[in-house]
Amino acid sequence: MAMRSQQEDLIDHSHRPSKLLLMAEGRAVYDAAAMVPMLALKKCLPQGDNHPVLVFPGFLASSRSTRPLRQYLADLGYRAHRWKLGYNMGYSYKLHYGMRDRVTELVERYGDKISLVGWSLGGVYARELAREMPDIVRQVITMGSPFRGHPSSSNVHKIFNMFSEVPYDKMPESFLQDMAHPPPVPTTALYTRGDGVVAWQSTVELSDRPDVENIHVGGAHMGLGFNPRSLIVLADRLALPEGQWRPFKPPFLLKPLFRNWYPDWLVHGDENPLKATA
């Protein structure tokens, strides 16, 4: 299968999610509630090998938002860590170096490669760190991360520009194009077509690489860190032995959970970038 050209435009120009989907983000409380029974079922999921995992919070969030997820990963058998960098207020050079230092610190502490898990904007950071330090990153898992995003495909880009040291509109086109390509490590993108914050099309990979995949988990953008389907995927992906990557296949009895139930009329038409990878 031919690899995609580095010159190909991968930036997504979809319309931002509708106001209906944005208002429906309140359903994230149901994702959080659904995490409770998952805690009882975690013994039935693949268990961890004790390697370190660093979890990045989304825009305007702190590590408090990732605490339940980190506890879940720790209970599975991982050394799950927070980023220790306060609230995620958008990109800054200080933040960039702080994240690099945090990754390096954990790798040196445990003498093992690290997996990076990022929620929303945190996943964009995780991908770029893996691109810079592929020799020490085991894999990257993003949850609703708009790594192929454009201002037209986000409901929060104006707020991002207010806080970020480098506003989106000031980022070089070449950087944005590079950001849209997956890092040189196994990469999994979790997405939901019901995303009310960013266009779901901007959160999926367009790559022919065999170690890059997209997995639809449904639910709300703000609930992705609690979503039971996300938790099932995380347990499965993180448990993969290094160098033995394989595509995700949900357990037979859970396959209905991973179906796409969102009607096209609700997600601004039937535009589907995943068809480009067929």
Q: Which domain holds residue 53?
A: 19-244+252-277
Residue found under tokens 């535009």: 271
Residues in the chain, pLDDT under 70:
1-7, 268-272, 275-278
Residue 187: in which H helix or E strand, if any?
A: strand 187-191
Q: Give the pLDDT score at 2.
A: 42
Q: Give the pLDDT score at 176.
A: 87
Q: Give the pLDDT score at 7.
A: 59
CA-to-CA distance for 85 and 50, rounded, in angstroms? 23
Instruction: Domain count for the chain, please give it.
Output: 1
Whether 79 maps to a domain, the answer reads yes
- Which tens digit of pLDDT belongs to each residue from 67-84? 999 999 999 999 999 999
Q: Give the pLDDT score at 39.
A: 80
Whether 134 maps to a domain, the answer reads yes
Q: Give the pLDDT score at 118.
A: 98
Whether 14 maps to a domain, the answer reads no
Q: Give the pLDDT score at 278.
A: 42
Whether 10 maps to a domain, the answer reads no
Which of 256, 221, 217 lies closest to 233 in space, CA to CA?
217
Q: First and final CA of the chain: distance in angstroms?
A: 11
- Which tens digit of pLDDT belongs to each residue from 200-210? 999 999 999 99
Q: Give the pLDDT score at 266.
A: 79
Kindly report the CATH number assigned to the domain that includes residue 168. 3.40.50.1820
In this prediction the pTM is 0.93
